Amino acid sequence: MFNSHHNILFKAIILALCVISSVHIFLFPLYGLETQPYAVKTLQGLEQSLCTISMRHHKTGKKAKCPNYGIVTVMQGGRIGNQIWEYASVWALARRTGLEPYIPRCIKLKLEQVFSSLSVPTFEEIAHCPFEMDKFVKSLDEWNYTNQSIILPRYIVQPELVLTWVQDIKQELTIKKKLLKKAQYILRMAAKNRTNCTFVGVHIRRTDYINRVMTKYSAKPADLSFYTAAMKYFEKKYLRVIFIIVSDDPKWCIKQFAGNTKAYITGTTKPNTPALDLAVLSSCNHSIFDYGTYGQWGAILAGGETVFYSIKDHSSYRVGQLLPNWHALP
């Protein structure tokens, strides 16, 4: 009697353990999702769970070799500036760890609006591979074994990692020729055909960020005095300087800079796409920006001297400490 009871109990425990472990493997709950935990069973399911938009299944002729070890990937979040950091962080972390990088197709589609030669493949190319990702971590610090995968959280900004290879990431983020041509046309217009001008790209972010600066960083938003002080810095250095102002609030800029003959505001008659404005900023010789990842990338890609608004704890500060020609003001 006892024996058979024991036997049943034993079997029940084994069964319970099996259920627990299969739940762990097959109901792979992704952290950070606003929706219900996602049951992910395939690499395509994983890709969808990383995207904020719905991705239609898409067959590709390209079938890559299946990954031997873990992979690095990231969740999609934010607009273009955030997604460049998400992409670049996967790119850099793969270099650092030797793991293979894959980005969700939604991020690639977004970035292909701007860049022409992105090398990190999407999940399409390994869609035929078995899903073996019951073990994953969220950062390099937690990562222990090469058979562990890393899924970075959305909004990740990792300058310490990415800017180790600043020249290489700039090459990875080559802007499309068509956009560069349009950007050069805009700069020529702004210079009124004068030659030998020094272009300073100015990114002014206002609409959604002013509140964010006060609530998230408990800081005072940049006001006119920041932009004029930053402009003075470049005016002292260069004789023929032209400020190319890119903003989400061109009306405010027109009001503030109407009398400034050295300032040219883009998109006043018809707004430019964010892709074209990024091409414009990256085509300038030097940069001024207040805050935000879009301004950061405009300045990193321009590669010149950069003056940015000083907020302690903002990621710009970390970027500024890594790049020698970046200065915080005031």
Site for ligand NAG in 213-242 (CB under 6 A): 238-239
Mind giving me the DSSP string for 56-92? -----S--PPPPSS-EEEE---SSHHHHHHHHHHHHH
Cβ atoms of residues 83 and 107 within 8 Å: yes
Q: Which residues pair with 115 in a beta bridge?
A: 175
Q: How far is the CB of 139 from ligand NAG (least distance, A)?
A: 11
Q: Interface with ligand NAG includes 261 (CB under 6 A)?
A: no
Contact segment (CB under 6 A) with ligand NAG among 1-9, 99-107, 163-171, 193-201 equals: 193-201
Cα angle at 319 between 248 and 311, to 5 degrees? 65
Q: Which of 196, 215, 261, 269 binds ligand NAG (CB under 6 A)?
A: 196
Q: Interface with ligand NAG includes 2 (CB under 6 A)?
A: no
Residue corresponding to tokens 């293979």: 100
CA pair distance 277, 284, nearest whole angstrom:
11
CA pair distance 307, 24, nearest whole angstrom:
49
Contact segment (CB under 6 A) with ligand NAG among 36-44, 46-54, 192-200, 253-261 equals: 192-200
Q: Which of 144, 167, 261, 269 binds ligand NAG (CB under 6 A)?
A: 144
Q: Interface with ligand NAG includes 145 (CB under 6 A)?
A: yes
- The smaller minimum CB distance to ligand NAG, of residues 62 and 135, is found at 135
Name, in order, each residue with C-beta under 8 angstroms of 4's C-beta and a sequence gap of 6 or more. Answer: none
- The smaller minimum CB distance to ligand NAG, of residues 186 and 319, is found at 186
Residue corresponding to tokens 């950061």: 296
Q: Interface with ligand NAG includes 199 (CB under 6 A)?
A: yes
Residue corresponding to tokens 């950062």: 139
Can you count the helices (H) and strands (E) in the chain?
A: 13, 10
What is the spatial order of strands in the sheet that 71-74 belongs to? 100-101, 71-74, 149-152, 136-137
Per-residue x/- marks for ligand NAG, 281-300, CB under 6 A?
--x-x---------------
Q: How far is the CB of 185 from ligand NAG (least distance, A)?
A: 10
Question: Which is nearest to 303 in space by CA: 205, 201, 231?
Answer: 201
Q: How far is the CB of 239 from ligand NAG (least distance, A)?
A: 5
Q: Interface with ligand NAG includes 54 (CB under 6 A)?
A: no
Q: Angle formed by the axes of helices 80-97 and 274-283, to 10°?
A: 60
Q: Interface with ligand NAG includes 4 (CB under 6 A)?
A: no
Q: Interface with ligand NAG includes 192 (CB under 6 A)?
A: yes
Contact segment (CB under 6 A) with ligand NAG among 1-9, 89-97, 142-150, 262-270 equals: 142-150
Site for ligand NAG in 80-139 (CB under 6 A): none
Site for ligand NAG in 171-190 (CB under 6 A): 187, 189
Q: Which residues pair with 150 in a beta bridge?
A: 72, 137
Question: Which is nearest to 310 in space by CA: 189, 229, 252, 235?
Answer: 229
Q: How far is the CB of 149 from ligand NAG (least distance, A)?
A: 11
Count of residues engaged in binding ligand NAG, rule: CB under 6 A: 14
> Which of helix, strand or coil describes residue 198?
strand
Report the interface residues with ligand NAG, using CB under 6 A: 142, 144-145, 147, 187, 189, 192-193, 196, 199, 238-239, 283, 285
